[in-house]
Chains A and B, each alone.
Chain A
Amino acid sequence: MSISADSDRQPPRGWYKRNEIAITPWLFLAPGALFFVVYVIAPIWQSFGMSLYDWNGLGDIDTNGTYVGLENYNKLFGLNGERADRNFQISLWNNLRWLVLYLLAVPLGLFIALFLNQNVRGIRLYKSLFFFPFVISQVVVGLVFSWFYLPNNGLFTIMTGWFGFEISGGVLGNPNTATYGIIAAGLWPQTAYCMILYLTGLNAVDPEQVEAARLDGAKGRKMLWHVILPQLKPATFIAFVVTIIGALRSFDLVSIMTGGGPFGSTRVLSFYVFEKSLSERGLQYGYAAAVAVVLFLIMLVFISYFLWTMYQDEKEAR
């Protein structure tokens, strides 16, 4: 062993030691990044690849699938002499409805949060009761609401009966109302989610600013709009993000409450992907992958905007 001979000389610092500051963050990131690449990035590329094939999802894509180029997209959008896929259009429109109406959860959540943000006896209990729908599974929410909507003996039908109007076929059986019925069910837990975000946000509101505003004579709506809301901006941002993403990937409720029916009128893109690939009569993996790619691109618009905003925010904070 030559340790004793070298021990009086300063050993050259190892490569890692020299680059420690630069490398360590990456090392910490590595496990997460690895999973992200394997389970998120790679499947995205795989979907892109798959969407160029006519493949029924059985066996190997190279042997059992045929490369068809952009044929699947032509079918979706009705390009190149194909008939546009009506079901795809229905899904797109429904996704739009979801996107717009689901956002109601944000103001509703804010309203309930403001209402609950007070110190009375047992407020914690009330808060948790309002939060409850978010904790229970979407499947349960869907089931409860579908019973609620049942024609003849559903509570909702009985209630609308008091006002003398009736929805033919029941809320979920009527193609004109079914999607709205599902969105209303979705709003219930989503409102609770936004409420929690705002409640935590309200905790962080600076009491001194509120005090100062009060001294200046601000109250009611003015106080809310000019003093409270600006301080809730981070909560609002997150509430928008989760609600928009939630609206785009709405699937469980559609699947539980109507299964896409009546006659496919409540389909959304994510459900259509499922229908065309994994469902009982799916067997069109390539086509489903093309729908998934379209959904991904739509989401990408929002996600990049969110990331961009957050990035700007970070830069300012620095």
Chain B
Amino acid sequence: MRSILKTSFAAFVAAGIAASAMPANAQSLSGDLVIFSDMSNPAPRAVMEGMVARFAEMHPDLNVELTVIDREAYKTQIRNFLTANAPDVANWYAANRMLPYVEAGLFEDVSDIWEGSMSEELASTKGALTVGDAQYGVPYTYYQWGVYYRKDIFDQFGLTEPATWEEELANCQTLIDNGIKCYTIGTKFLWTAGGWFDYLNMRTNGYDFHARLTNGEESWTSDEVRATFANWRTLIDMGAFIDDHQNYSWQEALPFMVNGEAASYLMGNFAVAPLREAGLTDDQLDFYQFVEITPGIPKGEDAPTDTFHIPSAAQNKDAAREFLRFVVSAENQTLINNGANLGQLPVNALSSVDDDKFLQQGFQMLSSGAPGGIAQFFDRDAPAEMAAAGMEGFQEFMVFPDNLDDILERLEATRQDVY
């Protein structure tokens, strides 16, 4: 650990020299730096605190104050503190989720951080943080989505990782015949169903169609969307999903997989940590990319990006910029995203991905297995009102698939209202 820290520190100094066009001299920062963070789950919280401690150590004259706010509560508080009591640095999410704040002038234009080499190092996420021609924040982590499955259960019934829709359905049928549900899911908070829609739609109609749909350029009553729902319906009619999923949060859906009542989970990589904690070993747990549905369509993937921003009303913007640079630096990225910390993917191309098998697979998948394109996530790609109505519709569809026509008409009406 110590040596990693040391080397990463040395590397940071080197990087600092390389990018010495920086306006603020790293040593001269002083005053207060107030950081509001939504990284309230145990592991992310430790990461955030560690990051702040290391940053404070580098700038002894700077008084860094970190306030960690509950992740859900943060989503409603941010609009208040951005206007009334702005910190110098705040967490948020990329793409459409940050758009209203950018448009209201609440996030600082930080294009200067992106100038030069940084744009290349962070190229993969640059688009998600760009509005117009300017960037309004920096990413600090992202993660792949995909199917996490119980390898031991698959082995027991002689199943292998599927690659096509037919194989997926065949696997699922075998599992159901043996009294095991194919997928666990908890749709109480709606967004988990958004993940299913993203994947089914990207695989049925392709990434470009999906992007146009979330962008309001395609109709929800179109044949393409209906085809997506028809595929979804196939799974629902098979009884592939666990029962009563509308009562559970995504965490409450985990035990079904741990107990072997369900064999897989379409989720983000953050599900790995609780699954391991619940006692699943890496021999029992494995990962595969969501299967191909329409042959020949380049696969698109969801990889939500979490971000840091500087509020326009921040007091100590120099220190805030320095902190953002520190966050995205290759060494810090390597460190905070490794398996012992966030267990996610680093955003900086120069940093290394941890040896963890899920991170390695995810990294492979996103860098070479997703020629279609990389989406953020349904509720980050679509505007808030569309996302809310959409995900509610998905949940209803999963419980009452017969309501599809009504749901799609409602979504279409919302689309015409929103865009």
B393: nearest residue on chain A (CB-CB)? Answer: A263
A289 to B374, CA, bound (A): 37
Contacts of B417 in A (CB 8 A): 75
Q: Which residue in A259, A263, A282 is a CB contact (below 8 Å) of B396?
A: A263
Q: Is the pair A150, B387 in contact by a Cβ cutoff of 8 Å?
A: no
A170 at the interface (CB under 8 A from B): yes
Interface residue total, chain B, C-beta cutoff 8 A: 32
A275 to B387, CA, bound (A): 13
Q: How far is the CB of B119 from chain A (nearest CB, A)?
A: 28
Listed in ascending order, the chain B residues whose CB lies under 8 Å from chain A are 72, 75-76, 79, 82-83, 100-101, 103-106, 188-190, 243-244, 246-247, 379, 384-385, 387-388, 392-393, 395-396, 399, 410, 413, 417
Contacts of A281 in B (CB 8 A): 379, 384-385, 387-388
A285: nearest residue on chain B (CB-CB)? Answer: B79
Q: Is the pair A58, B395 in contact by a Cβ cutoff of 8 Å?
A: no
Contacts of B384 in A (CB 8 A): 280-283
- Of the listed residues B72, B243, B246, B247, the one surrounded by the most CB atoms of chain A closer than 10 A to its CB is B247
Q: Which residue in A59, A151, A278, A283 is a CB contact (below 8 Å) of B243?
A: A151
Q: Is the pair B399, A263 in contact by a Cβ cutoff of 8 Å?
A: yes
Q: Is the pair B385, A283 in contact by a Cβ cutoff of 8 Å?
A: yes
Contacts of B105 in A (CB 8 A): 59
Q: Is the pair B392, A263 in contact by a Cβ cutoff of 8 Å?
A: yes
Can you sample 18 A-B contacts with CB below 8 Å? A56-B100, A57-B79, A58-B101, A58-B104, A59-B83, A59-B104, A64-B103, A152-B244, A169-B243, A169-B244, A173-B399, A261-B395, A262-B246, A262-B395, A263-B399, A279-B75, A280-B72, A280-B75
Q: Is the pair A58, B399 in contact by a Cβ cutoff of 8 Å?
A: no
Contacts of A259 in B (CB 8 A): 188-189
> Binding site of A, secondary structure by majority: helix, strand, loop or mixed?
loop
Q: Is the pair B387, A58 in contact by a Cβ cutoff of 8 Å?
A: no
- Of the listed residues A75, A169, A259, A284, the one surrounded by the most CB atoms of chain B closer than 10 A to its CB is A169
Q: Which residue in B100, B244, B387, B388 is a CB contact (below 8 Å) of A151?
A: B244
Q: How far is the CB of B14 from chain A (nearest CB, A)?
A: 41
Q: How far is the CB of A26 from chain B (nearest CB, A)?
A: 34
A253 at the interface (CB under 8 A from B): no
A263 to B417, CA, bound (A): 20
A280: nearest residue on chain B (CB-CB)? Answer: B75
Q: How far is the CB of A265 from chain B (nearest CB, A)?
A: 9
> Known: A86-B410, A170-B244. Contact between A279 and B76, CB under 8 A?
yes
Q: Is the pair B106, A151 in contact by a Cβ cutoff of 8 Å?
A: no
Q: How far is the CB of A273 from chain B (nearest CB, A)?
A: 13
Q: Is the pair A170, B387 in contact by a Cβ cutoff of 8 Å?
A: no
Contacts of B100 in A (CB 8 A): 56, 58, 283
Q: How far is the CB of A18 from chain B (nearest CB, A)?
A: 47
A281 to B391, CA, bound (A): 11
Q: How far is the CB of B28 from chain A (nearest CB, A)?
A: 33
Contacts of B75 in A (CB 8 A): 279-280
> Known: A259-B189, A281-B385. Contact between A173 and B393, CB under 8 A?
no
Q: Is the pair B247, A173 in contact by a Cβ cutoff of 8 Å?
A: yes
Contacts of B79 in A (CB 8 A): 57-58
Contacts of A284 in B (CB 8 A): 385
Instruction: Name the interface residues of A208-263: CB closer than 8 Å to any CB of B.
Output: 258-259, 261-263
Contacts of B379 in A (CB 8 A): 281
Q: Is the pair A169, B246 in contact by a Cβ cutoff of 8 Å?
A: yes
A105 at the interface (CB under 8 A from B): no
Q: Is the pair A262, B396 in contact by a Cβ cutoff of 8 Å?
A: yes
A83 at the interface (CB under 8 A from B): yes
A107 at the interface (CB under 8 A from B): no
A275 to B244, CA, bound (A): 24
B407: nearest residue on chain A (CB-CB)? Answer: A263
Contacts of B72 in A (CB 8 A): 280
Q: Is the pair A150, B76 in contact by a Cβ cutoff of 8 Å?
A: no
A43 at the interface (CB under 8 A from B): no
> Known: A151-B244, A283-B100. Contact between A58 and B76, CB under 8 A?
no
Q: How far is the CB of A34 from chain B (nearest CB, A)?
A: 23
Q: Is the pair B83, A58 in contact by a Cβ cutoff of 8 Å?
A: yes
- Of the listed residues B104, B189, B395, the one surrounded by the most CB atoms of chain A closer than 10 A to its CB is B104
A57: nearest residue on chain B (CB-CB)? Answer: B79
> Known: A262-B399, A283-B100. Contact between A83 and B413, CB under 8 A?
yes
The 8 A-B residue pairs whose C-beta atoms are closest, nearest first, are A58-B104, A263-B396, A59-B104, A281-B384, A281-B388, A151-B244, A280-B75, A173-B247
A169 to B100, CA, bound (A): 36
Known: A173-B244, A284-B385. 17 other contacts (CB 8 A): A56-B104, A58-B106, A59-B105, A64-B104, A151-B243, A169-B244, A169-B246, A169-B247, A170-B244, A172-B247, A259-B188, A262-B396, A263-B392, A263-B393, A263-B395, A264-B392, A282-B76
> Known: A150-B247, A262-B396, A263-B396. Contact between A280 and B76, CB under 8 A?
yes
The contact string, 1 if C-beta is below 8 Å from chain B, for chain A 146-157, is 000011100000
Contacts of B393 in A (CB 8 A): 263
Instruction: Name the interface residues of A270-301: CB closer than 8 Å to any CB of B.
Output: 275, 278-284
Instruction: Name the interface residues of A168-194: CB closer than 8 Å to any CB of B.
Output: 168-170, 172-173
Contacts of A75 in B (CB 8 A): 417
A259 to B243, CA, bound (A): 20
A278 to B393, CA, bound (A): 21
The contact string, 1 if C-beta is below 8 Å from chain B, for chain A 125-167, is 0000000000000000000000000111000000000000000
A83 to B413, CA, bound (A): 8
A150 to B417, CA, bound (A): 37
Q: How far is the CB of B191 from chain A (nearest CB, A)?
A: 10
Contacts of B395 in A (CB 8 A): 261-263
B410: nearest residue on chain A (CB-CB)? Answer: A86
Q: How far is the CB of A171 from chain B (nearest CB, A)?
A: 9
Q: Which residue in B82, B83, B188, B244 is a CB contact (below 8 Å) of A261?
A: B188
A244 to B376, CA, bound (A): 45
Q: How far is the CB of B187 from chain A (nearest CB, A)?
A: 8
Instruction: Name the interface residues of A39-84: CB closer than 8 Å to any CB of B.
Output: 56-59, 64, 75, 83
- Of the listed residues A168, A258, A264, A284, the one surrounded by the most CB atoms of chain B closer than 10 A to its CB is A264
Q: How far is the CB of A264 from chain B (nearest CB, A)?
A: 5
Q: How far is the CB of B413 from chain A (nearest CB, A)?
A: 5
A283 to B101, CA, bound (A): 10
Contacts of A56 in B (CB 8 A): 100, 104
Contacts of B413 in A (CB 8 A): 83
Contacts of B82 in A (CB 8 A): 58
